[in-house]
Structure 1
Amino acid sequence: MTDYDYDEVGLVAGLEIHQQLDTATKLFCNCPTVRREPAESERSFVRYLHPTRSELGEIDEAALEESRVDREFTYLAYDSTCLVEEDDEPPRRLDDEALETTLEIATLLDATVADQAHVMRKIVVDGSNTSGFQRSTLVANDGEITTSEGPVGIEDLLLEEESAARVEETDDGVTFGLDRLGIPLVEIGTKPDIRSPEQAREAAERIGMLLRSTGKVKRGLGTIRQDVNVSIAEGARVELKGVQSLDDLEDLVRGEVGRQVELLAIGEELRERDASVGDPTDVTDTFTDTDSGVIAGAERVTAVRLGGFDGLVGREIQPDRRLGTELSDHAKRSGAGGIFHTDELPAYGVTESEVEALRKAVGADAEDAVALVAAESDVAEAAIAAAAERAETAIEGVPEETRDALPDGTSRYLRPLPGAARMYPETDVPPVEPDPSAVEAPELLTERVERYAADHGLDAGLAEQVAYGQYMPVYEDAVDAGVDPTFAATTLESTLTELRRDDVAVENLTDDRLLAVMALVEDGDLAKEGVGDVLATLAEDPSLSAEEAVEAAGLSGVSEAEVREAVVEVVERNEEQVAEEGMGAFSGLMGEAMGALRGKADGEVVSAVLREEIGKRS
């Protein structure tokens, strides 16, 4: 991927970070924020959504385009689903716990909290909200974070409701699960102060660290999402949605810069060629006897002359994506499978003579290109019109739009950029007056790493693992209860990782169970070496208590006499080695002795007895 001089190309970028909060209940109802499996749903219902006008009588362009795709939306409901989630009952007041956490985040971002926070409706008709809108509240603005390349301003901090989770998509519509809908979500928008892909990543890392420092955000895949807005000089603002990882973030910024550079070059060449786009034409008769399976099976074939576009429709603007791919993305929004164009024909069963006939049918000369769509009549008409509209914007350069971030570092067209027309007040929820003085800024994770190393004696690597890990609150509770810090950290970061690799259902281990097992070790009722077996037993049967799991794992404690008996048996079995090597045999015999005791005895006790017995014989 080409790396540019980002100052020279005029890169300007800003981030939008979306993070789920780990609250007990959802933002506008008392339903739990626990995710469910689709198979657990008890019933479903269907909705059809359409955009509404704002208070000024305007319709948002993004919502309008989304509504042109005729789809039904199916929602999976669970035993915990309430009428608020189904949009059959007005929302309740803003959740206090979610607001308190948002105020903590505002403090960490050095942002100014609003005197009064009003809930707004943001029109969303892609089916991800049963109501057709998302509720959003501006809580704070005008903050700042630091990066090695300079400060990045925080434009706004919003508290929102999470959308429903997409479960399945078919030709007829989309199925969503209501378990995710309504989970409290903060959205942090930066100012356009970012000037390089590396700074975008660093800013996202900094914000992520601040969010996790609260200890009140959800962890795991899908709980945090990054969007990035990118533009270059002479280009346009493009929003890349759904960036899943920080590695992807850098690649996507680089890729979008490259895409806009290529589109600007294409636009300049098209203007030099005095390019134009013709009117869509029905060319079905041109392909009456075609061998192309896709075209032969279509009800109608429509085409459009792209004057002066020859050779440019097939020009690559991202890896394996061309200008023709952009046209195709727009056509697909109308239900078509894509487009064909003359920069890639003859191919796909289309012959040279059919290409010549196609050019003649739309009045295309040698310097022109032709794009065509084969589909049902209404789809073919709408799709070729969408492709033609995108071709017209190619003459101008780079269109403003929202794009879907793809795993390979490229992106595809999603919808137009939303405008102010999609926001209007929520009349069912009263405003609140946030009080930032009621919250304290939490300890930063970076500060916590330093404290764990200095006060708890953890090495730097383990201290960082614990501070940034999902079990940090459990670690804090364990140390407060008197558990040895290094043992607690190793159990939570190493032992659990090993169990997870062995396909043990670690997610079944509650915080209380983890603390109880560590307490047994601290009280001398369980050897450290037996912790893994006990945790595996608890994960398999979460109904057991920690004590019962020790019994079930066959790891009830043994007396020192029993330890000595086992050690003596090991030493006598290896008496020749002991006689020859003396204490040099210790390491090998220690492993054998621990295996004989199967984790029932503490390693330090076994070590002391073994050294004593070897000493007697050497």
Structure 2
Amino acid sequence: MTTPDYDYEDLGLVAGLEIHQQLDTATKLFCGCPTTRRDPEVATRTVTRYLHPTRSELGEIDDAALEESRVDREFEYLAFDTTCLVEEDDEPPHRIDDEALDVVLEIAALLDTTTVDQGQIMRKLVVDGSNTSGFQRSMLVATDGEIQTDDGPVGVADLLLEEESAGRVEEREDGVTYALDRLGIPLVEIGTKPDIRSPEQAQEAAAQIGMLLRSTGQVKRGLGTIRQDVNVSIADGARVELKGVQSLADIADIVRNEVGRQVELVEIRDELADRDASVGDPQDVTDTFADTDSGVIAGAATVMAVPLSGFDGLVGREIQPDRRLGTELSDHAKRSGAGGIFHTDELPAYGVTEAEVDALRDDVGASDDDAVALVAAGASVAESAIDAVVARAEAAIEGVPEETRGANDDGTSRYLRPLPGAARMYPETDVPSVDLDLGAVETPELLTERVERYVAEYGLDDGLAEQVAYGRRMPVFETAVEQGVDPTLAAGTLESTVTELRRDDVPVGNLREDHFLAVFDRVESGELAKEGVDPVLRTLAEHPEMSVEEASEEAGVAGVDESEVRETIAEVVERNGDQVEAEGMGAFSGLMGEAMGALRGKADGELVSSVLREEIQKRA
């Protein structure tokens, strides 16, 4: 399926973003534990919880939490030697972290928002196991901001400071395993107003917010540290929240595919209306498949089916690339613990014969214009799953259901749960409110401004300046140039050289700031040739415990004095005397490579070039 080029204005596309970014603070939001991620293999113990929804202060239960609780699951949490009682929910949370407050107020200023006078921490009900307490703590910080895009301004509705959820490690049949190292890391949530009108504007708005966040220099970097959620609707559709878009580059595709999905669902709705479609009652059809060759069905205790009157050909209709209406029905069945569904638009197949399909239609009273969906599982799971299929099929007759969906890596999405409502929010009584004031906040230099400064002050080209300004090692570059290191050397090393090393599978993550600064110092002092930077960094990456001096010796690029350089080059010219006499300076290029090879990066290229020219001129 290829997504068409839609007229988004004609479709009435409305979209908004929710950006979740981890802050790079020393400690977590409500305890003194470090915010460093740990390897699950070093966990020291486990904690187990069973969670269930509770009523709000008004006596209501949130629909999303209620659906989550219908599947009985055990949640296991990996604890570490740094895990405290707050993270285990065995002690009340501490006061909110001051460093996180400072960073979020800086972000509020960059987004041109208005802060609230007093921040009140709230509990947000979450029973998917991602928090040991069964809720997430969140605080509204500011409202009414704005960012600029090429297609016009996008309003910022709200800015919140909240605690990050636990990291999902493993999904099991009876539950989920999480790790507590991520739980409680300070997280900002930025929600835009529904001002976005195209996939491209959504991606640009997200990029602009990301740039502002990174400009603070106090946000975490790397996979999973920033997540983008997108709310999308079209005029004839419904608001759908798409959660967990990991890559900025995926946002436009996610929006396009969701628009396409809603367009297809609207067309299916209209076709179902023309057919006067309806959904029948679930029936037990276990006996129909008593002798089946289908392994999945044969291994199930119960087979439940539901007739879908007028749905023939539409259950198998593609609504996103490689995803069909039947996939939507299957997603809902999976939420009840089933492995998925079968439906007659795809049968006979999977060991189900044509005779069995005919018998199935007869048993549930389905004609050739109808479809039949069936679930094979344990008795309770099959009954719950077929009820979920019925509800989703009935929603298809109405059109596009409001829901929360998970973003897939291929730009499509899958059903997660109903949209959450206000019933899951209530005040946190264990943490005092805090006064908020932007008056003393100093906004940082924007990354876009920094790029311009690097070009103007240091003479870097636009591309290299942008790489450095947006890169993780920007602070190293700033320190290096402050210490008098040549900006071009520092920038080229931190970006181009490190990129080449990474492509060669060198563990560049082992390289520390002091490694780079010491290498730059040796180059500036003449103890290391520029050509020796690459091999020294390779050695340091493999042996980070070494000093730069030791790495230089190990790499064989310890510096040589000028007399040794002249002696080596004289030998090269002597060996190639006939060529020099015949070609003169025409021999320079070939001999330069030989000379640099003989010196093995121990001498600066400019010095080698100068001495070689002198030696050739003597011979010529």
| TM-based fold match above 0.5 | yes
Partner of 1:431 in structure 2?
433
Worse overlay, 142-151 or 43-52: 43-52
Partner of 2:194 in structure 1?
192
Worse overlay, 150-159 or 541-550: 541-550
SS in 2 for 1:145: strand
Partner of 2:406 in structure 1?
404
CA-to-aligned-CA distance 1:340-371 (integer Å, 9 cap, x gap): 11222222222233222222222223332211
Residue 10 of structure 1, CA deviation:
0.5
**1:606 is aligned to 2:603:** no
Partner of 1:498 in structure 2?
500
1:122 to 97, 121, 124: 124
RMSD (Å) for aligned C-alpha atoms: 1.4
**1:378 is aligned to 2:341:** no
Partner of 2:487 in structure 1?
485
CA contact (8 A) 2:47 2:88 kept: no
Residue 294 of structure 1, CA deviation:
1.4
CA-to-aligned-CA distance 1:560-611 (integer Å, 9 cap, x gap): 1111111111111111221122222222222222221222222222222212
SS in 2 for 1:146: strand
Q: Look up the equivalent residue of 1:448 and give its one-letter code.
A: R
**1:582 is aligned to 2:584:** yes
Residue 443 of structure 1, CA deviation:
0.9
SS in 1 for 2:350: coil
SS in 2 for 1:264: helix
CA distance in structure 2 between the aligned counterparts of 1:294 and 1:50, rounded to whole angstroms: 31
**1:356 is aligned to 2:361:** no
CA distance in structure 1 between the aligned counterparts of 2:526 and 2:391, rounded to whole angstroms: 75
Counterparts of residues 252-267 of structure 1 (less than 5 Å): 252-267=254-269
CA-to-aligned-CA distance 1:316-343 (integer Å, 9 cap, x gap): 2112211111111100110111111122
CA distance in structure 2 between the aligned counterparts of 1:391 and 1:369, rounded to whole angstroms: 11
Worse overlay, 89-98 or 377-386: 89-98
Residue 27 of structure 1, CA deviation:
1.4
CA distance in structure 2 between the aligned counterparts of 1:446 and 1:365, rounded to whole angstroms: 64
Partner of 1:459 in structure 2?
461
Worse overlay, 150-159 or 519-528: 519-528
Residue 174 of structure 1, CA deviation:
1.4
SS in 2 for 1:436: coil
CA distance in structure 2 between the aligned counterparts of 1:511 and 1:438, rounded to whole angstroms: 31
Partner of 1:6 in structure 2?
8
1:595 to 590, 594, 597: 597
Residue 107 of structure 1, CA deviation:
1.1
Compute the TM-score of the two structures, normalised by the length of structure 1. Answer: 0.98
Residue 418 of structure 1, CA deviation:
0.6
CA contact (8 A) 2:308 2:372 kept: yes
Partner of 2:64 in structure 1?
62
Residue 417 of structure 1, CA deviation:
0.5
Residue 547 of structure 1, CA deviation:
2.9
Residue 544 of structure 1, CA deviation:
2.3
2:449 to 447, 450, 453: 447
CA distance in structure 1 between the aligned counterparts of 2:557 and 2:521, rounded to whole angstroms: 15
CA distance in structure 1 between the aligned counterparts of 2:506 and 2:26, rounded to whole angstroms: 27
Residue 537 of structure 1, CA deviation:
2.0
CA-to-aligned-CA distance 1:393-422 (integer Å, 9 cap, x gap): 111111000011111221111110111111
Partner of 2:110 in structure 1?
108
Residue 273 of structure 1, CA deviation:
2.3
CA-to-aligned-CA distance 1:157-199 (integer Å, 9 cap, x gap): 1111111111111212211121211111111111000001111
CA distance in structure 2 between the aligned counterparts of 1:323 and 1:307, rounded to whole angstroms: 15
Q: Look up the equivalent residue of 2:513 and give its one-letter code.
A: D
Counterparts of residues 147-546 of structure 1 (less than 5 Å): 147-546=149-548
Give every structure 1 segment of 4 or more consecutive aligned residues whose post-TM-superposition deviation is greater than 6 Å: none
Partner of 1:29 in structure 2?
31
Residue 299 of structure 1, CA deviation:
0.2
Worse overlay, 12-21 or 39-48: 39-48
2:558 to 547, 556, 566: 556
Q: Look up the equivalent residue of 1:371 and give its one-letter code.
A: A
SS in 2 for 1:28: coil
CA contact (8 A) 2:317 2:325 kept: yes
CA-to-aligned-CA distance 1:228-287 (integer Å, 9 cap, x gap): 000000210001111122332111111111111111111122223222212211111121
- What count of residue pairs does the alignment treat as equivalent? 618
CA-to-aligned-CA distance 1:422-442 (integer Å, 9 cap, x gap): 111111111111221222111
CA distance in structure 1 between the aligned counterparts of 2:572 and 2:76, rounded to whole angstroms: 66
CA distance in structure 2 between the aligned counterparts of 1:115 and 1:530, rounded to whole angstroms: 57
SS in 1 for 2:435: coil
Percent identity (aligned): 77
SS in 2 for 1:210: helix
Worse overlay, 434-443 or 368-377: 434-443
Q: Look up the equivalent residue of 1:615 and give its one-letter code.
A: Q
CA-to-aligned-CA distance 1:505-529 (integer Å, 9 cap, x gap): 1111111221122122112222211
CA distance in structure 2 between the aligned counterparts of 1:543 and 1:352, rounded to whole angstroms: 69
Residue 388 of structure 1, CA deviation:
0.3
